[in-house]
Chains A and B, each alone.
Chain A
Amino acid sequence: MTGGLFYAITGVLLFCLGLYGFIQHAHLLRRILAFNIMGSGCFLVLVGLAQRGGQVDPVPHALVLTGIVVAVSATAFALILMRQLYVESGHCTLPGEDEES
């Protein structure tokens, strides 16, 4: 097994961990965190898989670079929607979901 494949499999585990957290939590901030962890897992899979032969591949690097910037803008937008929801309703969960965590 090469270093690239090793990180790709770490990425898969991170993705599934994030997915579990995303389903598990009702609190929107925790969902945003879980979503970001899923994204990081995807990035690791993309870059790690392309480099499993040991050769550095600049194409996934460029794609993931755009991905990181898009992820932060999506996170900022999600956070602002969540804060607006909190200002309007005083809750941090979507209607119909209990606030257990």
Chain B
Amino acid sequence: MANYPLNGYRVVDFSWVWAGPLLGEILADMGAEVIKVETNKRLDSARLTPGRSTVGPETDFVFHSINRNKLGITVDMSESRGMALISELIRISDVALDNFSPQGLRKLGLAYENLSKINPQLVMISLPAAGQYGPLSNIVTYAPSLGALCGYSSLIGYPGERVLGEQTPYLDVTSAIHGAFAVLSALYYRERTGKGQYIDMAQIEVGASVIGEAFMEYFMTGRVLGTMGNRSPTMAPHNNYPCQGEDRWVSIAVNTEEEWRSFCAAMGNPPWVKEKRFSDKFNRQKNLEELDRLVSAWTIGLSYYDVMHILQKAGVAAAPCLDLMERFSDPHYSERGTHLQVEHPATGVDIIAGIPFKLSGMPAEVRLHAPLLGEHNDYVFRELLGKPESEIAQLIEEKVIN
């Protein structure tokens, strides 16, 4: 058996949609036995993401990607016998994970006070929008509303223009990564002391933490940062420039004077680079729009990959802005296994995201396809919890296991 970091750890994953399941994914990728708790009564909406051309809860690649390496059971937790099964599972697990609202959590009887009585060594994390307490703790939100509430969205837009905000689930993913770190830290503490604990994570506080410098700016100077486009306070050029083809862009960032000279030489030293208005960083910042226009006039005649290779050879940071298919076929990503193809009983083969980190000695592969609904009911209820087959059959019959 390959040496996965979390071999032997068991996680009960009550979460759904995006942030929580991604946190579970990180733990599952590290080898933990992550058991995703679902119910047919209310499907995880990630099983039915909008716009898929194939339909049905078993064929959604998004779900398959964010729930790979997990086991799946179906239990109706609104039934007391369902909750009894969950309690038994909690007793033999190390971590519980949820992204319910604080009220929802309590209503289901999954509050940490209850679960820690069953298993005092349990590490539990909840990652709702705004945490377990505070005036916003009962808000209902989606990822973009979180970006709005923590100040992140206010920074996104063309410099000085209206706020555009972010349309990706950026904060969900950021929260998942930070949350996995918090869980592992709490487990590390438990290994030394035998004590479990509860992690109250507010996604909007994670959002504020990754823009910490904006708050420092406000506290130290009183300035309130707003929309900033691609501008950098310290680099120029620093933008995405148009290239040959439709909607093709290359990112170029020039930091030091040495990089600026290399950049000019790589463009063939056109006469304008000698002009006084571009002579140093201060002047380049002051004449940024003109500078961007002149750089664009050079990039537009080249492919975005060519610009990268030309500039990188000269020691200048440049990379194409890639979209879906372009990332899939990029040679660097191909060599690193950034995307994986995994067999799945309902689709044949899934194309999913690769493992987001590499540890020497740990295969950067997927061990298990994302679970079918209730795929591991038998393993969990019969093998792990030791329920006789007749009892399981009855629970299925009465839709407790469902």
Q: Do A and B bind each other?
A: no
Residues of A within 8 A of B (CB): none
Q: List B residues at the A interface (Cβ < 8 Å).
A: none
